[in-house]
């Protein structure tokens, strides 16, 4: 999570390389000092996945729900050919010796996303060939996600799991801005609203009412030229102030 936040912040500041020959210019401090090492560390967050029941752990707090869902789990999957039993799966963790977690599928893939376009095409990093993730595939069975396969689902892990699929260009999911963690469509809407809000406005008077008009309005000069005097009561208040 911290690595993702750092990379996303550098992206907002235009401090990430846009090409392999990227060099820091002027008095800007360097962003990532060792991109290959960063990529290697992120890719190494893939670890072999073990189902919870295979691990030597105390009483499983989600055992009852998992047993209730096992019937659904064994049904024919909605995606032809998808199975959690016949394939070798991996998950992502946040640091060494930690268990896999659905949310890290996003933290890792979103952190890698800024480098995929130009870097993997020139170096054999394997960024575009990340392994299958069982927690992500859970969505095809239950329409939502939890911290791991066959665990209680929640909005947090469901969103980040779907966001990870968007980063990996899963068909049927809107394109994602990996730095903002929102769809590119939503990003454009926010950008447009910010641009609109930044345009200066003026007030003109009509029939005793103040009307706000943007300075980029084609009728701006016409409306301002036809502005009436504000009501005397308004003038008196302004004069008193």
Do 127 and 213 sit in the same domain of this protein?
no
Asked if residues 174 and 166 have their Cβ atoms less than 8 Å apart, the reply is yes
Residues 83 and 9 in one domain: yes
234 and 181 in a single domain? The answer is no
Is 45 in contact with 109 (CB distance < 8 Å)?
no
Claim to verify: residue 106 and residue 49 sit in the same structural domain: yes
Q: Are residues 140 and 63 in the same domain?
A: yes
Q: Are residues 54 and 123 in the same domain?
A: yes
Query: What does the DSSP 8-state code read for residue 173?
Result: S
pLDDT digits (tens, 9 = 90+) for 131-168: 444 444 444 434 445 555 555 677 888 888 889 888 88
What pTM, to 2 d.p., does this model score?
0.60
Closest CA to 41 of 127, 100, 103, 101: 127
Q: Please, which residues bridge with residue 202 across strands? A: 213
In this structure, are 66 and 106 located in the same domain? Answer: yes
Write out the two tokens for 104: 């890290």
How high is the pLDDT of residue 231?
Answer: 82
Task: Identify the pLDDT of residue 73.
Answer: 42
- Point out the least confidently predicted range of 7-21, 50-64, 168-182, 219-233: 50-64
User: What is the reported pLDDT for 219?
Assistant: 92
Task: Give the domain range for residue 213.
Answer: 200-240
Given a cut of 90, whether residue 184 has pLDDT beyond it is yes
Handedness of CA 229, 230, 231, 237 (dihedral sign): negative
Most confidently modeled of 7-16, 130-139, 228-237? 7-16
Do 115 and 65 belong to one domain?
A: yes
Residues 136 and 223 reside in one and the same domain: no
Looking at the structure, tell me whether residues 121 and 227 fall in a common domain.
no
The Cα–Cα gap between 155 and 58 comes to 26
Q: Are 92 and 46 in contact (CB under 8 A)?
A: yes
- Which tokens sit at 145? 């996600």
Please report the pLDDT score of residue 176 as a whole number.
Answer: 92
Domain count, the chain: 2
Q: Are residues 76 and 123 in the same domain?
A: yes
**Cα–Cα distances in angstroms (integers) from residue 51 to residues 61, 101, 144, 151, 166, in the given order:** 14, 12, 18, 10, 25
Inform me whether the pLDDT recorded for 192 exceeds 80. Answer: yes
- One domain for residues 16 and 114: yes
């Amino acid at each position: 999570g911290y690595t993702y936040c750092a990379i996303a912040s550098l992206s907002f500041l235009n401090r990430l390389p846009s090409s392999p020959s990227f060099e820091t210019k002027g008095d800007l401090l360097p962003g990532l000092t060792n991109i290959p090492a960063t990529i290697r560390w992120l890719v190494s967050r893939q670890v072999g996945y073990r189902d919870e029941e295979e691990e030597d752990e105390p009483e499983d707090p989600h055992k009852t729900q998992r047993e209730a869902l096992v019937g659904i789990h064994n049904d024919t999957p909605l995606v032809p050919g998808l199975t959690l039993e016949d394939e070798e799966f991996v998950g992502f963790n946040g640091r060494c010796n930690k268990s896999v977690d659905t949310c890290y599928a996003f933290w890792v893939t979103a952190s890698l996303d800024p480098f995929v376009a130009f870097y993997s095409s020139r170096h054999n990093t394997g960024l575009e060939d990340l392994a299958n993730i069982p927690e992500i595939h859970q969505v095809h069975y239950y329409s939502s996600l939890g911290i791991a396969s066959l665990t209680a689902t929640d909005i947090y892990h469901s969103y980040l799991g779907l966001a990870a699929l968007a980063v990996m260009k899963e068909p049927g999911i809107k394109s994602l801005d990996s730095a903002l963690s929102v769809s590119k469509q939503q990003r454009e809407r926010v950008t447009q609203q910010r641009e609109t809000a930044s345009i200066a406005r003026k007030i003109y008077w009509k029939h005793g009412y103040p009307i706000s008009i943007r300075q980029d309005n084609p009728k701006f000069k016409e409306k301002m030229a036809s502005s009436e005097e504000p009501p005397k009561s308004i003038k008196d208040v302004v004069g008193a102030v």
